[in-house]
Structure 1
Amino acid sequence: MGQKVNPIGFRLGITQDWKSKWFADKKRYGKLLHEDIAIRKFIEEKYKAAGISNVIIERLGDKLRIKILAARPGIVIGRKGAEVEELNEAIRKITSAKDITVNVDEVKRPELDAKLVAEDIALQLERRVSHRRAMKKAIDNALKAGAKGIKTQVGGRIGGVDLARKEWFMAGRMPLQTLRADIDYGTARASTKYGILGIKVWIYKGDKLEEKKEEVLSKIEEELHTT
């Protein structure tokens, strides 16, 4: 029996940050947690065409700050910010917070975002593209964008066969047990004629400690040049 652990949850507080940043007592915790789930579900369903990568929620008293990371932020913002105003009104009906702020940022490299890659594979499978072709294309795009490793997996009644199975492809390194490894993980579901197919994507971007070392060295070099 294999023991599977979510790569993001495994690295929380080490190389990964929390998607919800707030604190509450026992009485309010359950209510705020369900509010966060409802907000994320609403945003992801309404702006599915925008390619929502992540929804980060921050709370401080009655203040609620929502940061939306999207591949196509123009769809979320709308003309002159009209969509953001409608989104604010819709969120007011879900949450008890009085002061709501919504910020929308662009995902600069969607090829390196595991969730967006998984959703792209799911979209291709719904359009009856071969699962092998969709996965290999995603791997090629990620490696060209600078990924050090990527693994894609599709599970279900692939190709309409009677028995469900899993198929996966991997390129580069995938150190799942290394805590300092910066690994992004995303899932998606494809609704096909023969049933639901599950897609999982792992993308290895390098080690976080190595990046910090490079930043420190670059700062030292700058200081040496200035003196």
Structure 2
Amino acid sequence: MIERHFIQEQLKKLKLEQYLAPELRSAGFVGVDVIKTPIATRVIINVTKPGLAIGKKGKTIKNLTKELEEKFGYENPQIEVQEVKEPELNAKACVDRIVTLIERGYSWRSVVYRVMEDAIAHKAQGIEIVLRGVLAGKGNRAKHERVAKGYMKKAGEQAYLVDYAKGMAVTKIGGIGVKVRIIKPGIVFPDKRSINEILGRTEVKEEKKEAEGESKAGRVEGEEKEAEEKSKASEAEEGEKIKEEAGREKIAHEVEAKAEATKEKNVNESLSESPAEGNEKLTDAQKIVPKAKKVKKEEKNAKIGKATKEVTKEKAANEKENNLEKEGKKESNKEDKAEDYKEASESSKNIG
């Protein structure tokens, strides 16, 4: 039967928890999750202090893997140590904390109230701690003490949403039983939901559908508006660029006009005054300008001289070539005349 298989697996897990609890008590053992895969079996150990569970160079994990294979028959077990993020909201971790402190000799009242305040500080909806045993000291009767704060559920299916754990502290006087119930933040019970919220959700869904339809129409209009705005912005940018270029040209013309006016003023002042004073008032720029003109003229003349030399050289080379061609033609004519003379003389001899 399939039911028997599941029952056997759960019994196996329970035995594993009973075995690991004393082994990893110092590490704050909370629980175990076993996940079977085709390659290996993952064993996830939830602990409040993972460093103590791993040990030096993973010694404790290696020992545990061997024992899991031999005692429990797990094939290729892969142990993973997972840290409990908020131990103040875990019932098993709170029970272990209370048990260890009571066994060390601390007052149960101070321990219980400290655990309760820590849970409420971490936004727990409610917490209940129950102690039973010899709490007052040697020779006294067993007592039942209950300390609670916040909201708590104890009956019905809703009770499964409450985190529950129990343990026992063994003291010199006797055993003390500890039970802890915690409702974690984020858990919503059915009786805490209002009809207005449920109805509000349906109204919200209808409003969302209407808003989506309106948003689609609005998107189309928005895209058209954006395209128009972009075209207008581009036109405005082009107009600004043209204005900036025109302004720059105006400024350049004004600067040139001012420079020419200042030059004319300086020249007129130099002519009106005596030559000695005019020469003294000549600026460095006015002295440098004629020198620059002279240098430019000399460069132009040098370029023209080079060009004329090259042209004359080309002409001389062409004349030489023409003379050589003419001499060659004359020699060829002389040879032709000599040949004609020889032929005529030979023909005259034959006739004679």
TM-score normalised by L of structure 2: 0.49
1:216 alignment counterpart: none
In 2, the alpha carbon distance for the partners of 1:178 and 1:209 equals: 15
Counting only pairs closer than 5 Å after superposition, residues 143-222 of structure 1 correspond to structure 2 as 143-160=120-137, 161-177=139-155, 179=157, 182-206=161-185, 208-209=187-188
Q: For the structure 1 residues 163 and 61, does the alpha-carbon distance in structure 2 shift closer, same or farther, using more than 3 Å as the test?
A: farther
C-alpha contact 1:150 1:173 (8 A) present in aligned 2: yes
Q: How does 1:101-120 map to 2 (within 5 A)?
A: 101-120=78-97
| Cα distance in 1, alignment partners of residues 7 and 152 from structure 2 | 36
**SS in structure 2 of the partner of residue 158 of structure 1:** coil
Q: Which residue of 1 aligns with 2:346?
A: none
Q: Name the structure with the higher helix share.
A: 2
Percent identical residues: 25
CA distance in 1, matches of 2:114, 2:32: 27
Structure-to-structure mapping, 1:23-38, within 5 angstroms: 26=4, 32-38=9-15
Q: Which residue in 2 is equivalent to 1:47?
A: 24
Residue 73 of structure 2 aligns to a residue whose secondary structure is coil
Deviation at 1:165, TM superposition (A): 1.8
1:106 offset after TM fit, Å?
0.3
**Which structure has the larger Rg?**
2
- How far off its partner does 1:34 sit? 4.1
Equivalent position SS for 2:16: helix
Query: C-alpha separation between the residues in 1 aligned to 2:136 and 2:39?
Result: 50
Greater strand share, structure number = 1
Q: CA deviation at 1:156?
A: 0.9
> Which runs of no fewer than 5 residues in structure 2 stay unpaired?
190-196, 198-207, 213-218, 220-352
What is the CA distance between 1:197 and its match in structure 2?
Answer: 0.5
Distance 2:130 2:188 in 1: 28
Counterpart of 1:138 (choices 111, 115, 120) is 115
CA contact (8 A) 2:28 2:49 kept: yes
Match of 1:80 in 2: 57
**Deviation at 1:136?**
0.6
Between the aligned partners of 1:173 and 1:209, the Cα distance in structure 2 is: 12
CA offset at residue 159 of structure 1? 2.2
Contact kept in structure 1, 2:53 and 2:61, CA below 8 Å? yes
Kindly indicate whether the alpha-carbon contact (under 8 Å) linking 2:89 and 2:124 is maintained by their aligned counterparts in 1.
yes
Aligned to 1:129: 106
Deviations 1:135-157 (A, max 9, x none): 11111111111211111111011
Q: CA deviation at 1:131?
A: 1.4
Larger relative contact order (Cα-Cα within 8 Å, sequence gap ≥ 6)? 1
Q: Structure 1's 140 and 86: CA in aligned 2 closer, same or farther, altered over 3 A?
A: same
Give the distance between the partners of 1:195 and 1:70, measured in 2 at CA.
Answer: 28
Equivalent position of 2:310 in the other structure: none
Instruction: Encode CA deviations 1:52-97: one digit per residue, 9 max, x unaligned.
Output: 1111123357843211110001111123323211110111121222
Residue 179 (structure 1) shift: 4.2
Kindly provide the amino acid, as one letter, of the partner of residue 169 in structure 1.
V
Determine the structure 2 residue equivalent to 1:98: 75
1:67–1:105 CA contact under 8 A, matched in 2:
yes
1:133: how far off? 1.1
TM score, norm. by length of structure 1: 0.74
> By how many angstroms is 1:29 displaced?
5.4
AA aligned to 1:192 is: T
| Paired residue total | 193
- Structure 1 segments unaligned to the other structure (5+ residues): 1-22, 214-219
Provide Cα deviations, 1:4-47, integer angstroms capped at 9, x if missing partner: xxxxxxxxxxxxxxxxxxx9563x55654443233212211111
Q: What SS does the corresponding residue of 1:174 show, helix, strand or coil?
A: coil
